[in-house]
Structure 1
């Protein structure tokens, strides 16, 4: 679809508030998208502005306004706007029904999908940075098991992993109320129920212990640890919406403390998970984690850079499996498992699928010039 840039489009939101047309980004500051620096398989590399998404989802359209460049923007300091955006994107791009109440974080969908794509390359032994990760070489299907640490209320990584690659996910969470909301998001999607299992971590001092059975084996783990070590530090920037629970925003030692504990627990169970991974928000944290991993007796380490808007984040990955062991695991998992729904839709369209199928799986991509969270967990 072509980008619709007519300024009058935002007046169709239904609330009649023309004051939104006066909102502007700072003079001389061009919007930054970095879309082209996202993962090569990302659905969000090509931009289509909020006007188009708003026309499809009226509940999102009411938050859209015209910026000084004639494009569409929303107030990223408004948690309601971010929830509406996340809800619309997940349904339109990934056919996922999703809801969370106020008081919990709305995840930036393109960044979260970016992470999942890099994990797919990692466990499949491909090099996505060089662009040679072809679809046929990727490990897919329910035989591939992953652990999602700290799913919050949204369960975003588990849902995207199951949707994009058909993986079977175990999602863990220390907040019992958030876990129930995450389970509700799984239950909203009938085809996700067999693929996503959510488990309560009753001891916040542990990460893997207490939620994973000793006889379980996984290809990978993913995690977005709490960024801050105190709640006061979580609300220092009023332009960002951090409408999150305490466990999503804060943990003992912040992200460095959390990932350090993850490294220590991974040493206690070196062969239960092939690739341990975590999102990292600070470059200083990344440098320190790499130093600690060098002392942890790991077999290999990988690092990926995630771009979205003005934001840069990193994924750090480590394994205790040697190269030969990792290849054996890849060979074991590489089988014609059940294809993810998205791939089935694309193949159906390529074989002359109906217009209804085309409408359902059509990709609409939004340009994210400023959508970012600083210091979040739970997706």
Structure 2
């Protein structure tokens, strides 16, 4: 298992290592100017406790660095932190390179499944723009996928490489999505982290007050999120465990299977399931996610 990466250090290939170039970002998206502030240290930033500011920052990053125009998310959808999501893609690329004589495979022949793609379709966007990969984005929400399709149509080059499939059975992940002749070199996933609305609210409140020092302010979830994006019965531990168990039925159709894991205490029982079922490879990859420590759990049968 690999855990060499230092906490909160972006991947060496991540173009966001130097931080945010706000003049460049505001030039790409003038609407960002309304949210740019000067910090107590005399630096330029935005109020990360303001959801509108975070969305405009994302629009700026996607246009300035990835040539994505007219990006948007459905109201109250999860708004992904771009540098952290790019890190996931880069480390996933490193996994693929291990099976390709150390060379990262690029181009449309690389097939990737994004489980729970969401209305932002951030992993397909970044994976296609950085490495030219092809994606199947799955979700249990038809409205989300309709929005995702509209984003693809608005941006040149995406429609031939990003397609979507509705998962009609909320209890399944790969079943009824994988066809008999499908093969995916990589699976990525940002699972629902919380067990319930109450747990989500507690964590949101703590995070909000860490960003916003006014304790009287009503907590706002700055990165948003629909219920099915944020919580499910059993939380991320059950979701990823189900993902592991179901993936065993498709060993010949799936290469590296990966998922973000927010709570490090969930790793030992998940690894135990993988080891018990004799996964051929298991890796834990620490990943930068702002001030929050995250990790990718990756396995291969």
TM-score w.r.t. the length of structure 1 is: 0.70
1:43: how far off? 0.4
- Residue of structure 1 equivalent to 2:123: 157
Q: 1:47 is matched with which residue? A: 19
Please say if residues 221 and 277 of structure 1, whose CA atoms lie closer than 8 Å, have aligned partners that are also in contact: yes
Rate the CA distance shift 1:282–1:36 in 2: closer, same or farther, 3 A.
Answer: closer
User: What residue ranges of structure 2 are gaps of 5+ in the alignment?
Assistant: 1-5, 209-220
Q: Specify whether residues 232 and 35 from structure 1 end up closer, same or farther in structure 2 by C-alpha distance, changes over 3 A only.
A: closer
User: Could you tell me how far apart the structure 2 residues matched to 1:107 and 1:200 are?
Assistant: 21
User: Does the aligned pair in 1 maintain the 2:240–2:259 contact within 8 Å?
Assistant: yes
* Corresponding residue SS for 1:197: strand
What residue in structure 2 maps to residue 82 of structure 1? Answer: 54
C-alpha spacing 1:150/1:48, structure 2 compared with 1 (3 Å): closer
Q: How far apart, CA to CA, are the structure 1 residues paired with 2:7 and 2:278?
A: 36
* Aligned match for 2:195, one of 229, 239, 252: 229
Counterpart of 1:282 in structure 2 is 263
Counterparts in 2 of 1:112 and 1:189: CA distance versus 1, 3 Å: same
Cα distance in 1 between the residues matched to 2:20 and 2:146: 34
Q: Offset at 1:247?
A: 1.0
Query: Residues 166-214 of structure 1: CA distance to partner in whole angstroms, max 9, x if unpaired?
Result: 1111010001111111111111112000000111000010001111102
The whole-number CA distance in structure 2 between the counterparts of 1:194 and 1:57 is 26
Unaligned runs of at least 5 residues, structure 1: 1-33, 321-379
Q: Give the Å deviation of 1:269.
A: 1.1
Deviations 1:252-300 (A, max 9, x none): 2110010000001011111211111111111111222112211122111
**In 1, Cα distance between the equivalents of 2:270 and 2:7?**
28
Please give the alpha-carbon distance, in whole angstroms, between the structure 1 residues aligned to 2:238 and 2:43. Answer: 41
* Count of residues in correspondence between the two structures: 280
Max Rg structure:
1
Aligned position for 2:151: 185
Q: Does 1:113 align with 2:94?
A: no
Aligned-pair Cα RMSD in Å: 2.0
Please report how far the alpha carbon of residue 218 of structure 1 lies from its aligned counterpart in structure 2 after TM superposition. Answer: 1.0
Q: Distance in 1 between matches of 2:189 and 2:8?
A: 24
- 1:116-163 alpha-carbon deviations (Å, 9 max, x no partner): 011111011189xxxx96xxx210011110100001111110111111
